[in-house]
């Protein structure tokens, strides 16, 4: 049986590796519940930023996206993430076009899509 997405596959949900992992599209965000407990691991696309100084790349946060208020009180800031490489590339191209015509150091800024893994799992709480 072929599954359209790793989210639909029962073996993926419990963290087993099997045949369709080798044929899965890289643009699909894989989400699995880890075998050691309840948790989520997703393979996504982020954006790496390199400034004019050519230092270490930085993973951009949502502060670079359009300004939106927090959806709920106490919402943490997050990395700027995309489910597909194409969406990340479009965002990078738009940002490069924004800064391309400038004559200052911002014209040298580089935005590149990078593969990232988001892991969310409960912490052990000491009582």
pLDDT in tens, 85-105: 999 999 999 999 988 888 888
Answer yes or no: is 80 within a domain: yes
- Whether pLDDT at 26 is above 60: no
17, 50: one domain:
no
**C-alpha to C-alpha distance for 123 and 92, rounded to whole angstroms:** 34
Global pTM value: 0.62
Token duo for residue 48: 């790496």
Q: Would you say residue 119 has pLDDT above 60?
A: yes
Domain count along the chain: 2
Mean pLDDT throughout 49-61? Answer: 86
- 48 and 103 part of one domain: yes
- Report, in angstroms and rounded to the nearest whole number, the Rg of the chain calculated over CA atoms: 18
Are both 113 and 63 inside the same structural domain?
Answer: yes
Which structural domain, as residue segments, surrounds residue 63? 44-118
Kindly list the distances between the CA atom of residue 2 and the CA atoms of 12, 23, 26, 32, 43, in Å, as whole numbers in the listed order: 12, 10, 16, 17, 20
Distance CA 55, CA 70 (A): 31
Q: Are residues 59 and 111 in the same domain?
A: yes
The helix (run of H) or strand (run of E) holding residue 95 is: helix 85-100
Look at residue 46 in the predicted model and tell me its pLDDT. 93
pLDDT at 49: 92
Proportion of the chain above pLDDT 90, given as a percent? 25
Q: Are residues 105 and 51 in the same domain?
A: yes
Quick one: DSSP state of residue 10? Answer: H
């Amino acid at each position: 049986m072929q599954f359209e997405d790793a989210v639909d596959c029962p073996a993926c949900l419990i963290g087993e590796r099997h045949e369709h992992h080798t044929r899965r599209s890289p643009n699909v965000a894989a989400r699995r519940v880890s075998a050691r407990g309840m948790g989520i691991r997703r393979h996504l696309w982020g954006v790496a930023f390199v400034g004019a100084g050519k230092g270490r790349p930085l993973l951009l946060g949502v502060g670079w996206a359009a300004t939106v208020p927090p959806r709920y009180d106490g919402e943490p800031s997050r990395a700027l993430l995309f489910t597909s490489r194409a969406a990340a590339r479009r965002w990078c191209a738009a940002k490069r076009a924004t800064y391309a015509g400038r004559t200052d150091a911002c014209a040298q800024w580089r935005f590149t899509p990078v593969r990232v893994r988001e892991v969310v799992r409960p912490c052990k709480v000491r009582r």
